[in-house]
């Protein structure tokens, strides 16, 4: 089974064609990367797959469901982290994790603790007092801890140290 399938998926912004007839199949269990220059449509394609944008034409299926109809059940199985991730900056790292945990029945407290230590995140620090790289680690932790079936990363590593 394919976890993502698209057929001639396109997206226009008025006269600008941001994504043209993307056809692909991503098998379950695989690692897949969209590579291209700035403005090639990578982020637009991801946003259409995540139902953050409507396609202008074509179709996409994610977890076997039309991407335009992704529901609560599917969203609980998808981890999505973007370079432009918006986090509630007034929360601490611990508050963020406490907030997210009840939404995901597959949340793994042991993995949460392991990643918190591995990422060297200060649980009691407010997100607004973290560096950009530390914010991305918090976003990644809050996504990885529920062990999503599909993990979608849109350049989340900008601002992170290589290690």
Task: For the chain, 163 residues long, give each residue's pLDDT as a single digit of tens.
Answer: 899 999 999 999 988 999 999 999 999 999 999 888 888 889 999 999 999 999 999 999 999 999 999 998 999 999 999 888 889 999 999 999 999 999 999 999 999 999 999 999 999 999 999 998 899 999 999 999 999 999 999 876 765 666 6
The widest CA-to-CA distance across the chain, in whole angstroms, is 49
CB under 8 Å to 151, separation ≥6 — which residues?
Answer: 78, 79, 143, 144
Name the nearest CA neighbour of 76 among 150, 159, 23.
Answer: 150
Q: How far apart, in whole angstroms, are the C-alpha atoms of residue 82 and residue 140?
A: 10
Q: What is the pTM of this model?
A: 0.86
Burial of 58 (0-12, 13-18, 19+ CB in 10 A): middle
């Amino acid at each position: 089974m394919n976890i993502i399938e698209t057929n001639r998926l396109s997206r226009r912004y008025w006269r600008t064609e941001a994504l043209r007839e993307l056809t692909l199949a991503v098998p379950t269990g695989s690692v897949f990367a969209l590579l291209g220059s700035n403005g090639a449509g990578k982020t637009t394609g991801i946003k259409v797959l995540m139902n953050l944008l409507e396609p202008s034409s074509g179709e996409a299926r994610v977890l076997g469901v039309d991407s335009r109809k992704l529901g609560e059940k599917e969203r609980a199985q998808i981890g999505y982290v973007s370079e432009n991730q918006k986090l509630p900056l007034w929360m601490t790292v611990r508050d963020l994790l406490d907030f997210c945990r009840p939404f995901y029945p597959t949340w793994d407290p042991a993995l949460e603790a392991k990643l918190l230590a591995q990422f060297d995140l200060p649980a009691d620090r407010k997100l607004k007092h973290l560096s950009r790289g530390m914010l991305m680690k918090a976003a990644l932790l809050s996504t990885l801890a529920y062990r999503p079936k599909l993990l979608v990363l849109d350049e989340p590593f900008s601002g992170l140290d290589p290690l």
